[in-house]
Structure 1
Amino acid sequence: MSLQWMAVATFLYVEVFFVLLLCIPFISPKRWNKVFKSRLIQTVALYGNTSFMVVLAILVFLLIDAFREVRKYSVTEKVDLTNNPTAVEHIHMKLFRAQRNQYIAGFALLLCLLLRRLATLLSQQASLMASNEAFKKQAEGASAAAKKYMEDNELLQEV
């Protein structure tokens, strides 16, 4: 495996780890929001959009290259290779590697987009949970005030 595909495969494995980490059910969205709001993550996120687009462009470029390689080595039926029997196996080996690279680049691209969306959804869920708690406290306060006013009103009607 060449260096570029080794890097893409490593990137894919790291993405799989982070997606699985973000999907752990016992880590609450509030805690993820605290992590996302930390100073280190904010510094990374400041330059993150540009780097995300660069990584996306590289992955798209590598995916297109993998498609080209698959198409290049898919000509075994069109070309007569009966004179050299090892050439067929060599072409099949190259085709297998090209298809492997295509899947690696495709899944890395998919998980890159999925990871970004998952982080966005976790942040939104955390902010919605915080606003939900604030609304709940406000409603409890209004309910307690209404009960107090109703009791005061009953006392005034008795007098």
Structure 2
Amino acid sequence: MSLQWTLIAGFLYVEVAIVLLLVLPIASPRRWNAVFKSKFLQGIQKQAQFYFLILLSILVLFLLDAIREMRKYSHTESDEQGHAHLDREMQGSMRLFRAQRNFYISGFSLFLSLVIRRLVILISQQATLQAQSEASMRQAQSATTAAKSLLAQKNEEAQNDSNEAHDKEITDLKKKITALEDELKLEKKDKEALKSQSDNLAREYDRLAEEHSKLQKKVTIGSGDKKDE
């Protein structure tokens, strides 16, 4: 294997390792996002797009070269139908095998480059969404706590208002009871005064009736004496 294809194969192995690291649950998306936004990567982020395009261009060139060699050696092998020389046939098969190997190496390297780029974008977006979700959850919890506090405060105020209204009602009822008791005492005094007055009138009536009876007897006796004379 030549030097350039050895480098591309090594790059392919590194890409496979990176894909495994990103896919396997080794670290959380937030931790990966912190790694992606580190000072070192942030420093080369401005030039990363340029380097990525250069890398893709190189891989595409090697892929096209591998395709060209595959087409070249496949036609050579198909044209030599007579199998005149075994060494040339073996060399052609070996070159075709190398061309196919180079095609797969460059093709998978190009494919994994795009996959890694997409994985990095998705992991960053997932970390951002998780952060936004946690912030929304904290905001919702704080809003719920504030709502519960306001509701409890309103209930307490309503309870205090209810207690005040109840106390006021009890005070009014006590005042009414006191007024009714006073009226009842006055009624009792008036009743006792009327009863005493009625008893006095009854006694006076009995006295007057007794005096009337005595006078009537005197009048009767006086008229009898006049008749006897």
Category of TM-score, reference length = shorter chain: over 0.9
Map 1:22-61 to 2 at 5 A. Answer: 22-61=22-61
Matches within 5 A, 1:1-159: 1-75=1-75, 76-158=77-159, 159=161
CA contact (8 A) 1:16 1:111 kept: yes
**Structure 1 unmatched ranges of 5 or more:** none
What is the aligned residue count?
Answer: 159
SS for the counterpart of 1:74 is helix
Unaligned runs of 5+ in 2: 162-229
Q: Deviations over 1:48-103 (max 9, x none)?
A: 11000000000001000000000001122233342212211111111000000000
Shift of 1:10: 0.8
RMSD: 1.1
What TM-score comes out, normalization by structure 2 length? Answer: 0.67
In the TM superposition, residue 12 of structure 1 has moved relative to its aligned partner by: 0.6
- State the alpha-carbon separation in 2 of the partners of residues 104 and 140 from structure 1: 53
Equivalent AA in structure 1 for residue 89 of structure 2: V
Structure 1 counterpart of 2:187? none
Distance 1:142 1:85 in 2: 83
C-alpha deviations, 1:22-57, integer Å up to 9, x for none? 223030111111111111011122211100000000
Change (3 A) 1:13 1:71: same
Q: 1:19, 1:115 within 8 Å by CA — same for their partners in 2?
A: yes
Instruction: Say which structure is richer in helix.
Output: 2
Report deviation, 1:134: 0.5
Counterparts of 1:80 and 1:135 in 2: how far apart (Å)?
A: 72
Supply the distance in 1 between the matched residues of 2:138 and 2:35 (Cα, whole angstroms). 25
Classify the secondary structure of the residue corresponding to 1:82: coil
Tell me, in whole angstroms, the C-alpha distance in 1 between the residues paired with 2:147 and 2:139.
12
Aligned to 1:77, the other structure's residue is in SS state helix
Taking structure 1 as the reference length, what is the TM-score of the superposition?
Answer: 0.95
- Give the whole-Å Cα distance in 1 for the aligned partners of 2:26 and 2:87: 54
